[in-house]
Amino acid sequence: MKRQFPSIVLLLAGILAVALAGCNSTEDALSVPKSSTSAASAPASSTPLTTGGTATAGTVQTAGALRLDKLQVAPIVGAPVSVVTPLSQRLVADAKTLGVTLAAATEAGQAYVMKGYFSALAENGQTVVVYVWDILDPAGNRLHRIQGQEKVTGSAPDTWSAVPASAMEAIATRTMQEYTTWLAANRPKPT
């Protein structure tokens, strides 16, 4: 059974999360529509995560057909959609603020793909969210890894139910900050 969030969430938060009930992965829940800056791109995905903007002036560089400011966020593995939703919303907002254009899975030209893997563990009356993001080139070669953990007070038999939206938002903000720091340090110098 698929679940779809109201369209108002799309407008306000820029995300539509669709997933199977009881799913432990966001395999079909996270994608981005064709960006407005890429006219030659493929059609948008049927389950869009809208970015609401494009890169800021001066951040777009190209290497052949690749846009070095364009990032595709692959489906997140290990966390339920209810927990991924605030993370996704914050990733979209922070990407826009930091001048990163998010690309749809069907879109061509993104320089990087970011894959996220999450786990939640109960530990000494706390819940620890462990996350790993692999930054890949379009061919799937890992270029960089972002990893960390977020501890929250309290635990529950279903560890994910103890994780508040604020914890996932904090992970998203740290992730996008670390990604843009890495990107700035690894961009080819203009010739």
Nearest to 171 by CA among 131, 135, 127, 144: 131
- List, for residues 24-82, the tens digit of each pLDDT value: 344 434 434 444 333 222 222 222 233 333 333 233 344 445 566 789 999 999 999 99
Local confidence band at 5 (pLDDT 50, 70, 90 cut-offs): very low
Helix or strand run (H / E) with residue 4: strand 2-4
Mean pLDDT of the region 151-167? 95
Smallest CA-to-CA distance from 15 within 70, 69, 77, 95 is with 95
Q: Across residues 93-113, what is the average pLDDT?
A: 88
Domains and CATH numbers, the chain: 2-186 (3.30.160.150)
Q: What is the mean pLDDT of the chain?
A: 72
57 or 151: which leads in pLDDT: 151
| pLDDT at residue 163 greater than cutoff 90 | yes
